[in-house]
Structure 1
Amino acid sequence: MMNGMDSCTQNGTASSNSSQSGHIEESKTNLIVNYLPQNMTQEEIRSLFSSIGELESCKLIRDKVTGESGQSLGYGFVNYVRQDDAERAINQLNGLRLQNKTIKVSYARPSSEAIKGANLYVSGLPKSMTQQDLEGMFRAYGSIITSRILCDNITGLSKGVGFIRFDQRIEAERAIQKLNGTIPEGAAEPITVKFANNPSNNNKAVPPLAAYLSPLTRRYGGPIHHPAGRFRYIPLSPLTR
């Protein structure tokens, strides 16, 4: 298992695959960017992708509860004016190493009802379990959008609680059926896996993720800037996550 602070950092990803409810046509100018460093700002993302071509829009996805100044979820969207620029951005920027992350750039797809309500709350996790271990346990049941293990702000130790957001609700339901009440490696008690903030069951809703989060601390060095203030990046071959 992984050691150190990586076990308590968010691995922000979002899926761009077609929904199981039917084919959804992809936009050829709108891109989704996964595995962004958490301390990377929206303006730095814009600077990076506008070096390829003119952008129509750029959006870093943040926690809905805390709003524009809240916790980055580690992924975002960039929409180009021209299709050929979007294609070139995928070819040139997909797989780039930024700080402690290797970003993934691909075409985005429209949202659908099938992906709503797919966020899971997991408790009773072994304190030694890392985020990579958590994803490994849930990966067999679907495409993971985001994952997090919550840690104490002072000690940095795991609280034994995590969140997993799947691409589609059916995947989250499958994970609940297979994993709720099981005992993972390194645990002495069964884990609890259930929907977080289920709107149809508000009396049992799990508090929003933002309620557990402390203000974002920069555990890693910030983006490297050259004198002109542009965000710099170094192309490297993609790493195994």
Structure 2
Amino acid sequence: MSMRGSLKALVRMVKLFIGNLPREATEQEIRSLFEQYGKVLECDIIKNYGFVHIEDKTAAEDAIRNLHHYKLHGVNINVEASKNKSKASTKLHVGNISPTCTNQELRAKFEEYGPVIECDIVKDYAFVHMERAEDAVEAIRGLDNTEFQGELLWAWVVEPSGV
């Protein structure tokens, strides 16, 4: 797909927050649940919550209407539009994060290059959403393959899957 086509898909995409996820829930299980309502571009589970990026507003509204308080493994899950990232952004995958690194420390490191909308550490990697694409490129140039808190960081732009 062309760069223009993938940018159009990103503009239409809606990010949903899923709260109160049971421990047994898997990424594939969540993806399958949401795919009943539209194309899932991305699915991330972080402990007892997660995020699903779904293709457009109609699909998001259908998913919220049908899955909010849906019983999964005996637990009612919460589904709502994510309030955290309303602006368009460039998503970076950052690998090889130190086990002692906090979201605040990693966010501060990337904010040296520009505004960070969101920063989520998942085990030894993280997703950092930067407001401007040009800042994301500079962050990659400045931080990829450099030492941070005793570990050699890797950073690259995440291409949305399925678009």
Question: Under a length normalisation based on structure 1, what TM-score does the superposition of the two structures give?
Answer: 0.34
Greater fraction helix: 2
Higher strand share: 2
Could you say which structure has the larger radius of gyration? 1
TM-score by length of 2: 0.49
